[in-house]
Structure 1
Amino acid sequence: MLRLPEAHRDLFKKPFGTLYGSIGELLPRLEGRAVYAVGDVVTHNLLEAGVVPDIAIIDGYTMRSPCTRSPLLQARRLTAKNPPGTITDALAEAIGDLVRNPPGAIFVDGEEDLAVIPLVLAAPPGAAILYGQPGEGVVLRIVDEAAKREAVSMLEVFVRE
């Protein structure tokens, strides 16, 4: 398991992609791409907009409060334990499994906030990854070599436990 030290938490507050005010603003950028969603609200909003993500990673919470809008996706379901502030091997393996064999949803027992990092590393070039930026909107990251390099550099501040 990888743990993000408290001293480095602020590094992960800035968007890891382009910030949009709403899902509607970025819908044209999703056409013809694999779409991966991290978070209950983002997944719900995509479904409301008529976009079924190839992969959804959800935990049943939004901003640490129960999310009553958790989507019921008709897809393969995997579960993974992932305590707050960590990226577990189980989560990374589940992500890899679904990227190789979509569609599906990962139900996280814990917190899915940092799942964007292993998702960028596992995703094929051109995939669209969306996640919520609390109080600001939704972040879109199109996977390319720069995204993968940035994800690798983010992992450098984590501690293996």
Structure 2
Amino acid sequence: MLRLLRLPEEHRGLFKKPFGTLARNIGEHLPELRGRAVYAVGDVVTHNLLGAGIVPDIAIIDGYTMRSPCTQSPLLQTRRLAAKNPAGTITDELVEAIEEAVGNPPAVIFVDGEEDLAVIPLIIAAPVGAAILYGQPGEGVVLRLVDESAKEEAASMLNCFVRE
């Protein structure tokens, strides 16, 4: 049985605002990535990073963008991990894959389901100083630099979830 945390409907609105600095495109964030571990969540963000000449240390992808098959799925030649993660959840399987990838990068985590909420456990697992990028649907790309404040905020966001 898949052990997971589910985000109740009444808390979904909290996760619609950017959890970091929003930019229209990845290029605006490139200067802040120098000298940092770079983690990407999402097929398009990963594809755009590769197009900018940056290979992320960790990429979390699901083969979809905005619930449609992604024609820009990145082809990364690195260690591959897999995790099941239904929409609106964070599974223990996903958290374990993230911890494994952070502990031994580079890696790509292929998610069977949805990777949207992976940013939360990724921030908790990532080392201070890492840069995490993810797509904000219809708006652009968000950059969150990992510091103690980011880790505390991510941990408090997890408190909105219900264990099933």
The TM-score normalised by the length of structure 2 is: 0.98
Partner AA of 1:48 in structure 2: G
Q: Does 1:33 align with 2:43?
A: no
Report what 2:163 is aligned to.
160
* % identical equivalent positions: 80
What does the per-residue CA deviation read over 1:84-127, in whole Å, with 9 as the maximum and x for residues that have no partner?
00000000000000000000100000000000000000000000
Report what 2:63 is aligned to.
60
- Distance in 2, Cα, partners of 1:85 & 1:136: 20
Partner AA of 2:127 in structure 1: P
- RMSD over aligned CA atoms reads 0.4
Matches within 5 A, 1:87-126: 87-126=90-129
Partner AA of 1:22 in structure 2: N
* Long gaps (5+) in structure 2: none
SS class of match (2:150): helix
What does the per-residue CA deviation read over 1:52-102, in whole Å, with 9 as the maximum and x for residues that have no partner?
000000000000000011001010000000000000000000000000000
Partner AA of 2:108 in structure 1: A
| Aligned residues between the structures | 161
The structural deviation recorded for 1:7 is 1.0
- Distance in 1, Cα, partners of 2:69 & 2:44: 11
Report what 1:13 is aligned to.
16
Q: Does 1:72 align with 2:78?
A: no
The TM-score normalised by the length of structure 1 is: 0.99
Partner AA of 1:153 in structure 2: S
Partner AA of 2:48 in structure 1: N
